[in-house]
Copies of this chain bind each other. A is one copy, B any other.
Amino acid sequence: MRKNDINSIEIARIAGVSRSTVSRVINNYPNVPQATREKVMQVIERYGYSPNFSARIMTGMKTLTIGLFLISPEAIHDTLTHALIGDVIESASSRGYYVLTHIIRSTGDTETVRKVKDTFYQRRIDGGIFIGAANHEPFIEELIAKGFVAGIVDQHLEGRLEPNRVICNFDNKLGMKQGVDYLVGLGHRNIAFIAGDPLRCSGPERLKAFQDAMAAHGLKVNPDWVLPSDFSERSGYESTARWLQSIPDLPTAIFACNDSVAFGALRALNEAGLRVPDDISLMGFDDHLLSSRIQPALTTIRVNFSEMIDMLTRQVIETIEDDTQMFKKYVGTAELVIRDSCRNV
């Protein structure tokens, strides 16, 4: 394309000052007399001049851009993920920031990881937000160690309290407790659990919280009733289908680590001729956008994603703009939402 119409040298010449002064005006330096400022501003306005972005970055200025990196092996067709992206953009835009988004198919692909790291090293962004990463993801830790600000959804690393690490977590403990209390209150004693990705923070955390909540009622968890998944609908379906073929007797309820997995489990149950909640109760976690719309409407634990993402984005930006900030962690709320997928036994 063509180069910028006009540069600061031209503006300086026309306004009858030096480039230094033009720069001072643009950057609102205090030591410029009002008269000079106005004179320069007029020329700037007249010619529609705006300083070259790359040139400014090379001198060390901020980019007013944050990166958004989605780690997802599959194409992103999940409405919840879409909403998260939208929330980050919404939140950043409202603060005058751009969002540079990229999907990371696999963190094992060195080429991709290199490109993402370069985004930071080359200062295309002032900071980044990571969604879907493993609890311990080496390249993210490397970036944090180098001092870049990183916002991470769903992470818990003991003792890592760097000021440039911004965390936002789910209240898995509270959520699981509410869910289990509710199921037990309905008379359930035999409850299966579909666990999430063991590498992600909420995978083991939700499982542990489930076990603890069960134990609080003096109930123990049958190891054969803990199924694996990776938080995806597909894995929920496959895992449940396989499990149904292998077990001698059924629990009265299934608690899924999230709603997507519950959707998959529901499908597998239906295909096996089991009806929810008549034959078996099903409980989710997250309150996915579709949870109120499926048949039967899913009883679940509501997480306020919009609020969490907005908070995370806001704090990432604050940390970028003020490097005296401390380590920050936000924990979202968890609230039982009773619908139609669980019944009395």
Please give the residue numbers on chain A whose beta carbons come within 8 Å of chain B beta carbons, in ascending order. 1-5, 50-55, 57-58, 60, 65, 70, 75-77, 79, 81-83, 85-86, 89-90, 93, 98-103, 114, 118-119, 121-124, 146-148, 289-290, 293-294
A306 to chain B, nearest CB (A): 8
Q: A4–B121 Cα gap in the complex (Å)?
A: 6
With A58-B54, A103-B93, A293-B293 as known contacts, state yes or no: A1 contacts B148, CB within 8 Å.
yes
Least CB separation from A119: chain B residue: B98
> Given A4-B122, A122-B53, A289-B79, are A100 and B103 also a contact pair (CB < 8 Å)?
no
**Complex Cα–Cα for A146 and B3 (A):** 11
- A5: B residues at CB distance < 8 A: 121
CA distance A65 to B115 in the complex (A): 13
* A interface secondary structure, majority: mixed
**Residues A90 and B114 in contact, CB atoms below 8 Å apart:** no
Residues in B with CB closer than 8 Å to A89 are 70, 76, 85, 101-103
Bound complex: CA A77 to CA B294 (Å)? 20
Complexed CA–CA distance, A50 and B55 (Å): 18
> Do A93 and B83 touch (CB < 8 A)?
no
CB distance from A340 to the nearest CB of B (A): 14
Most buried by B among A60, A65, A90: A90
Contacts of A124 in B (CB 8 A): 53-54, 98
A147 touches B2 (CB 8 A): yes
Which of chain B's residues have a CB closer than 8 A to the CB of A75? 90
- A147 CB, min distance to chain B CBs, angstroms: 6
Contact A98 B98 (CB under 8 A): no
Chain B positions within 8 Å of A60 at CB level: 3
Q: Which residues of B contact A65 (CB under 8 A)?
A: 100
Q: Which of A3, A85, A101, A118 has the most CB of B within 10 A?
A: A101
Question: In the assembly, what is the distance between CA of A123 and CA of B57, in Å?
Answer: 13
User: Hey, which chain B residues are within 8 Å of A121, CB to CB?
Assistant: 4-5, 50
8 extra interface residue pairs, beta carbon distance < 8 Å, beyond A54-B58, A85-B85, A85-B89: A1-B123, A1-B146, A1-B147, A2-B146, A4-B122, A85-B86, A98-B119, A101-B101
